[in-house]
């Protein structure tokens, strides 16, 4: 595992893997979409239950990707490893996109079910804070010209944001919220009926595969970009 | 059976799916386009064996 921390080995290993991930993501997305629109409507929520199949995967990925960003930030900060820094940087945009999708699709689900687009309850507010951490991370990186300093400052922010993850996850248990408690990952197993569980699990796998494809592609691009910058600097010195 | 009649919630279901498709598609296109751009730039800058004086 740690052998992959070498950028050249990482490029060799992920080169053949990345196209497969794109393919798996495409197949799973197609299958998940089909299952989502062949499932019956819910007896209480009607067809709005189909929003769950895009909302829950986006919300889960928003959390998981921030976890990846935080762990990568830790390795970048403590071991000053350039690949960890590239991994953290590459995770920020997809993570922010998934979190934004969770907020938007949640709002579109909330209006017909709760009668409101937004409420300042613990779950919604903590997810908004998560989104702001992503934005802050990206803004901090782009605000500092020196890439190493920007990476270190952003890594500190990335680590601080990890505090918010358990708050998001357990907000529905710690406080009274309008948002429903966990129905997928909970003690005693999922409370979802299999007709909804399978489309949801397929969409979650699809989102995860798509994230891995985007992430690996972006890390590889970051390694290539740094190599280009080094070559440009060398050419400027020789000129 | 495929069911595309979302009434009376079509105004909520379709935008949720459309925005999701747009954002996921955007992420994919952006990642692949950036990869191609930097790969081409690296190819342009990296010395080829023909450039090697030895």
The model's pLDDT over A185-197, given as tens digits with 9 standing for 90+, comes to 666 677 788 999 9
CA dihedral A141, A209, A201, A168 (to 10 degrees): -10
Would you call A117 an interface residue with chain B, using a CB distance cutoff of 8 Å? no
Q: Do the chains contact at B27 and A210, CB–CB below 8 Å?
A: yes
Helix axes A164-174, A49-79, angle to 10 degrees: 140
Distance CA A90, CA A71 (A): 13
Give contacts of A103 with chain B, Cβ < 8 Å: none
pTM (two decimals): 0.93
Q: Where are the alpha helices (DSSP H) in chain A?
A: 7-38, 49-79, 82-114, 122-143, 147-161, 164-174, 194-238
What is the arithmetic mean of pLDDT over B15-34? 98
Would you call A10 an interface residue with chain B, using a CB distance cutoff of 8 Å? no
Residue B54 has pLDDT above 60, yes or no: no
Q: Do the chains contact at A217 and B32, CB–CB below 8 Å?
A: yes
Q: Tally A–B CB contacts below 8 A.
A: 97
3-class DSSP assignment, residue A42: strand
- Supply φ then ψ for residue A128, to 5 degrees: -65, -40
* Chain B: closest CA distance from residue A153 (Å): 24
DSSP A193-217: -HHHHHHHHHHHHHHHHHHHHHHHH
Q: By percentage, how much of chain B surpasses pLDDT 90?
A: 69
DSSP class of A5: G
Q: Which residues of chain A have pLDDT under 50?
A: none
Residue B53 has pLDDT above 90, yes or no: no
Q: Where is B31: in which H helix or E strand?
A: helix B10-45
Look at A109 and B7; give whichever has higher pLDDT. Answer: A109
pLDDT at A210: 98
* Chain B: closest CA distance from residue A188 (Å): 30
* Chain B: closest CA distance from residue A51 (Å): 6
Look up residue A42 and give its two tokens.
């819910």
The model's pLDDT over A110-155, given as tens digits with 9 standing for 90+, comes to 999 999 999 999 999 999 999 999 999 999 999 999 999 999 999 9
Beta bridge partners of A46: A42
Distance CA A208, CA A149 (A): 31
Give contacts of B24 with chain A, Cβ < 8 Å: 29, 97, 207, 210
Q: Which of B23, B32, B51 to mutate to test the interface with A (most CBs of A within 10 A)?
A: B23
- Supply φ then ψ for residue A233, to 5 degrees: -65, -40
Look up residue A229 and give its two tokens.
């910058």
């Amino acid at each position: 595992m740690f052998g992959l921390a070498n950028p050249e080995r990482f490029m060799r290993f992920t080169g053949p893997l990345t196209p497969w991930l794109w393919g798996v993501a495409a197949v799973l997305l197609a299958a998940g979409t089909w299952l989502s629109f062949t499932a019956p409507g819910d007896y209480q929520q009607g067809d709005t239950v189909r929003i769950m199949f895009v909302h829950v995967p986006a919300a889960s990925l928003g959390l998981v990707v921030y976890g990846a960003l935080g762990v990568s930030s830790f390795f970048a900060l403590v071991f000053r490893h350039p690949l960890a820094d590239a991994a953290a940087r590459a995770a920020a945009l997809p993570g922010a996109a998934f979190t934004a999708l969770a907020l938007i699709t949640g709002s579109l689900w909330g209006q017909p079910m709760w009668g409101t687009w937004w409420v300042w309850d613990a779950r919604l507010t903590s997810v908004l804070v998560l989104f702001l951490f992503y934005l802050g991370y990206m803004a901090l990186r782009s605000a500092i010209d020196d890439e190493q300093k920007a990476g270190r400052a952003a890594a500190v922010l990335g680590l601080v944001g990890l505090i918010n993850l358990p708050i998001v996850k357990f907000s529905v248990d710690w406080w009274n919220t309008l948002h429903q408690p966990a129905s997928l990952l909970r003690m005693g197993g999922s409370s979802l009926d299999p007709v909804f569980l399978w489309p949801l699990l397929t969409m979650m796998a699809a989102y995860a595969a798509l994230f891995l494809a985007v992430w690996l592609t972006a890390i590889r691009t970051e390694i290539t970009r740094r190599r280009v910058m080094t070559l440009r600097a060398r050419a400027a010195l020789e000129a | 059976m495929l069911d595309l009649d979302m009434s009376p919630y079509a105004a909520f279901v379709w935008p949720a799916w459309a925005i999701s498709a747009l954002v996921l598609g955007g992420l994919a296109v952006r990642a692949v386009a950036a990869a191609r751009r930097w790969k081409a730039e690296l190819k342009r800058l990296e010395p080829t064996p023909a450039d090697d004086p030895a």
